[in-house]
Structure 1
Amino acid sequence: MTFKLFGKLVYLLTKERMEYRGDFLLAVIAQIINYTGDYIIIWLFLRKFDTLAGWTWPEIALLYSLGLFTYALGASFSFVQMRELESQVKNGTFDSILIKPVNPYLYLVCRGFNLGYLAHVAISGSVLLWALFKLNLSLSWVEVVYLILCIIGGAMIQAGFMSVIGAVSFVWVKTNFLFTLFFKFKEFVSYPLPVFGTFIQVLLTFVIPFAFINFYPAAFLLTKETALLSSWTMWIVPIVGPLCYFLGYRIWMSSVNRYQGAGG
């Protein structure tokens, strides 16, 4: 799989989606309205209590936007692709991917690249920029690079975990219920981690490292105290994403090598 081939696949997908421009635009608008509602709910909640675990509305808007923005980037290459593996394995249609002369994982994630996440990027990116402006953060070039690396890392954490769920399809077949668990856990990082008890904080830091998606990057940029990690460990945060994605990829490739077909 080369960048040229990837670009060709994305071009064909874009051309395919643009055949139904009205449907695509309505879907984008619907997603923007949906997530705008989420922001309004959080804003109304903060209007009542002023702060949440010491975090103000613009700070939580930054936190939530980082989570949504990184999800959009990661899920565009993994969510639909891994979710559909269950039916592909069950019906035997996944076999057609294996006969292609390309890496099956890369072909799957590139061929299923989802343009629909443009809505997520638009709303979360806009609020993210607003929050940075509202908080009057004067980021140095080092902090800007750090933020970019954390965004990439957050996307890779989520794509990595969804890849693991997809890998389980080759063993259990029925795995879509795991996506429900994934989103349930991800809901925790929509809010500051100190809101939750010690068990949840440890779980989301050292077992299921979703706190590295947005909480720790935001806490570092906002100079917030973190109970479980010292300030110097913030520089380790961008490394967690590539590590999670690499492990997810290796697990997926190992599982597909054991795949024996629909009648397996």
Structure 2
Amino acid sequence: MFHIRLFWGYFLQYMKIRMEYRSDFLVQLATDFLFQAVNLVFILVVFSHTRQLSGWSQEEVIFIYGYFLVPYAIFSAFFNLWDFNERYIIRGELDRVLTRPAHSLLQVIMETMTPESLIGVVTGFLVMGWAAWEMDLAVAWYDPLLFLVFVLGGAAVYGGIYIALTSISLFSDSKTDIQPIMYNVSNYGRYPVNIYHKAIQLVLTWVMPFAFVGFYPASFLLDDQRWLTFALLTPVVGAIYLFLGVRLWNWGIRNYRGAGN
């Protein structure tokens, strides 16, 4: 309960700050929306040259992309660790965090969260809704519950991987550039995994399992039974990678030497 109240306090404080500059806040929402729209246009351009992509129709690929936006939006909102090295390691702000009683990772997450990124959830639902309408997709009574479980599992996959990558700087005490590279790899998870080479499929499933963020659970919601087992493994994979990410973070904190040391 202590951490829940602390998180809520941080959230309210953040929204107060953002509402002081409402125009900037609204521009940020519009920018995020347009960014996702550009990626949707890319899919439409691809299907303007072909009717199917490895057996997937335009509506199915758009549905998978729309689903991907939901866990990705949650990840972007609450695991905004892109400038951790610059802010907390190079500038030494992590020393301030470590003097407080709350868990260091939770404090970093609360200080860097960007709730406006949740606009991606709305965009994802709109994209999925349009694709489902075009396909006349049937929805079972258990689909909303599984959808929630899959989304949380996908966000945990993302969160665990990026927490682990962020933790590297706790050992090196220097700026690393691996996160932008991993971001480019993660984009592969928003499309059907079977359109890639088998080596890439292996990486996206068992090494950097971004396929569990978008493709596998979305294929289940599309009633495609070929990847049923992988889809049901989504929350398990998410829990494992989040656990490993937090463990690596805790290990890094124990080995952190402090700024200027």
Indicate conservation of the 8 Å contact 1:167/1:255, yes or no: yes
Counterpart Cα distance in 2 of 1:171 and 1:109: 19
What pairs up with 1:65-76 in 2 under 5 angstroms? 65-76=66-77
Query: By how many angstroms is 1:225 displaced?
Result: 5.7
Counterpart Cα distance in 1 of 2:172 and 2:134: 48
Query: By how many angstroms is 1:109 displaced?
Result: 0.7
Counterpart Cα distance in 2 of 1:190 and 1:174: 31
Indicate conservation of the 8 Å contact 2:66/2:128, yes or no: yes
What is the one-letter code of the residue matched to 2:239?
P
What is the one-letter code of the residue matched to 1:203?
V
Aligned residues: 260
User: 1:211-250: per-residue Cα shift (whole Å, max 9, x none)?
Assistant: 1111111222223364xx5x34532222211221111111
Aligned to 2:39: 38
Once the two structures are overlaid, the 10-residue window that deviates more, 170-179 or 236-245, is: 170-179
TM-score, normalization: structure 2?
0.92
What is the one-letter code of the residue matched to 2:38?
G
Indicate conservation of the 8 Å contact 1:163/1:249, yes or no: yes
What is the one-letter code of the residue matched to 1:259?
Y
Question: Can you give the 5+ residue segments of structure 1 that lack an aligned partner in the other structure?
Answer: none
Counterpart Cα distance in 2 of 1:173 and 1:62: 42
Counterpart Cα distance in 1 of 2:93 and 2:7: 22
User: 1:180-235: per-residue Cα shift (whole Å, max 9, x none)?
Assistant: 11111112122211111110011111111111111111222223364xx5x34532
Query: By how many angstroms is 1:82 displaced?
Result: 4.9
Indicate conservation of the 8 Å contact 2:90/2:175, yes or no: no
Counterpart Cα distance in 1 of 2:174 and 2:187: 23
Query: 1:198/1:258 Cα in 2 relative to 1: closer, same or farther (>3 Å)?
Result: same
Aligned to 2:98: 98
What is the one-letter code of the residue matched to 2:197?
G
Counterpart Cα distance in 2 of 1:64 and 1:176: 29
Counterpart Cα distance in 2 of 1:241 and 1:136: 30
1:255 aligns with 2:243: no
1:18 aligns with 2:29: no
1:180 aligns with 2:177: no
SS at match of 1:121: helix
SS at match of 2:190: coil
Indicate conservation of the 8 Å contact 1:168/1:175, yes or no: no
Aligned to 1:212: 212
SS at match of 1:12: helix
Counterpart Cα distance in 2 of 1:35 and 1:126: 12
User: 1:23-73: per-residue Cα shift (whole Å, max 9, x none)?
Assistant: 111121122122212111211211220111111122111111222221110
What is the one-letter code of the residue matched to 2:231?
M
TM-score, normalization: structure 1?
0.91
CA RMSD of aligned residues (A): 1.8
What is the one-letter code of the residue matched to 1:47?
S
Question: Can you give the 5+ residue segments of structure 2 that lack an aligned partner in the other structure?
Answer: none
Indicate conservation of the 8 Å contact 1:82/1:163, yes or no: no
Counterpart Cα distance in 2 of 1:33 and 1:42: 15
What is the one-letter code of the residue matched to 1:171?
F
What is the one-letter code of the residue matched to 1:133?
W
Counterpart Cα distance in 2 of 1:195 and 1:153: 23
Counterpart Cα distance in 2 of 1:220 and 1:174: 42
Q: Give aligned-pair identity as a percent.
A: 27
Indicate conservation of the 8 Å contact 1:86/1:169, yes or no: no
Counterpart Cα distance in 1 of 2:23 and 2:221: 40
SS at match of 2:258: coil
Counterpart Cα distance in 2 of 1:161 and 1:70: 14
Indicate conservation of the 8 Å contact 1:97/1:104, yes or no: yes
Counterpart Cα distance in 1 of 2:180 and 2:133: 34
Counterpart Cα distance in 2 of 1:96 and 1:15: 23
User: 1:127-158: per-residue Cα shift (whole Å, max 9, x none)?
Assistant: 12222333222222223221211111111111
